[in-house]
Amino acid sequence: MTKDRQRNGLFLGDPSSEKIRKELGSKALVKKANVGRSTKRKPSEEEQVWEFLGRQKESALASVVVLSELMPAVAAEGVAAHDLHHHATGFYEEVDKLAKGKAMLEVTDRTLEEVNSIIADTKRLIIDDPFLKRTHEFVPAGNNPVYPDVLLALKSVLQSLQRFRKRKLEEHTAYSGILSELNTILVAIDLRLEGEETATKEQLAQILDQPPNPKWIVSFGYNDSHFNFQKLASVGPPIVEGTKKAQLTLGSGE
């Protein structure tokens, strides 16, 4: 048997290999293959460190991939909410002007159509606001709603959009902070895997082209700051999970 065709003491071309694998299972197969042979060498301390760093790097990269999908989606939702809020605010102000002196009169069909479009667009964008759920499109049947009712509906929409914009800004800020942490961790791991005994704050800043995330820097005195590998071993990198966001389509009037 040649070495390149030998694995766990079994000849890969032997037809009985598959039969043994099925009958005994992988654990029994390994046990059988190692009978009479020396046990596997215990990894050295350096090998264990490299294996640990490899796992942490893989975990950090997975979170970066998730953030690469989440952050553009959150930003797009924030922009959509900003534009819709701007449009709805202008429309609210115009309707409010028209309502002066004729509060109990019905709005025109054109006004009603635009109000319903704004409500529909907002509900497509914001699906989890309990207060917005109480606001419904006006049914164009019989008499049109009066100005006060339309203004109340528009006000509810504006307030919902304000809350949504604030939440998206907070989410994007949080994701940006996590991405900063992950980038700092990944650069520090790469430096260690390249043979550096540690990763100094100056090294990280030079590679990142910006200061490293302070959450992962430990200081031992003046001008002696390093990446906190002990913290990495204790808590690991931040884990980010998420789902893909549906593409936003607003203003269709449908």
* Full residue range of the structural domain in which residue 174 is found: 62-235
Q: Is residue 37 part of a domain?
A: no
Which pTM value belongs to this model?
0.72
Tell me what pLDDT residue 191 has.
95
Q: Considering the domain boundaries, does residue 201 fall inside one? A: yes
Residue 27 lies in a domain: no
* Domain annotation covers residue 97: yes
Domain count, the chain: 1
First-to-last alpha carbon distance for the chain, in angstroms, is 72
Assess if residue 6 is contained within a domain: no
Q: Average pLDDT of 209-217?
A: 96
Burial 59-78 (b: 16+ CB within 10 A, else e): bbeebbebbeebbebbeebb
Residue 203, in any domain of the structure: yes
- CA–CA distance, 74 with 78 (Å, rounded to integer): 6
Q: How far is CA 238 from CA 56, 116, 178, 182, 214, in A?
A: 10, 43, 7, 7, 14
Does residue 237 carry a pLDDT above 50? yes
Residue 42 has pLDDT above 80, yes or no: no
Q: Is residue 243 in a domain?
A: no
Residue 73 resides in a domain: yes
Closest CA to 191 of 227, 222, 220: 227
Poorest-pLDDT segment among 6-10, 90-94, 206-210: 6-10
- Give the pLDDT confidence of 182-198 residue by residue, as tens digits: 999 999 999 999 999 89
